[in-house]
Structure 1
Amino acid sequence: MARPNPEEPTLAELAIEEVKAMGKQGMNHPSTRPVLIGGGVGAAIGLMLDAVSWPFGLFAGALIALLVRVKR
């Protein structure tokens, strides 16, 4: 198994930088709208399911959308 390059940032570091950039640029940042949409979809799914609440769905949807954007 190949060892990770210590110079390459981790997924968590990339996500933190993306969130910081989204906070600074607001709606002008290219990741803001997809993450907000992901949060909305997650919240709607959370409302429909009895197992989870809408805040959990909101968080999960936004997190998934953020990770998809960062992994690209």
Structure 2
Amino acid sequence: MTDPNLPPRNDDLLSQAGEEIKGMAKEGMHHPSTKPVLAGAAVGALAAGLLPVVTWPIGLVAGAGFMLYKRLRP
């Protein structure tokens, strides 16, 4: 959710994603987005294991990307 006390961010999605990924890399598991993105990656990899066409690395990236997007655009 967005915090009403913070000013709205007007920059584009790619720059926000870059900042978020840098923050996750710098802070590790202490960053608030790390755990949801890792959970999304795990779910995506498991779901891809059930599908005959999609391999697990594609599912992992898709799950992590979806959760990162949901963190940036709630």
TM norm. shorter chain > 0.5: yes
Unaligned runs of 5+ in 2: 1-8
* Alignment correspondent of 1:67: 69
* Alignment correspondent of 1:44: 46
Letter of the 2:35 partner, please give it: R
1:16-67 superposed Cα distances (whole Å, 9 cap, x missing partner) = 1000000000000000000000000000001000010000000000000000
**Poorly superposed stretches of 4+, deviation over 2 Å:** none
**C-alpha separation between the residues in 2 aligned to 1:32 and 1:14?**
15
Identity, in percent, stands at 47
How many residue pairs are counted as aligned between the two chains? 66
RMSD: 1.2
Unaligned runs of 5+ in 1: 1-6
TM-score (norm 2): 0.85
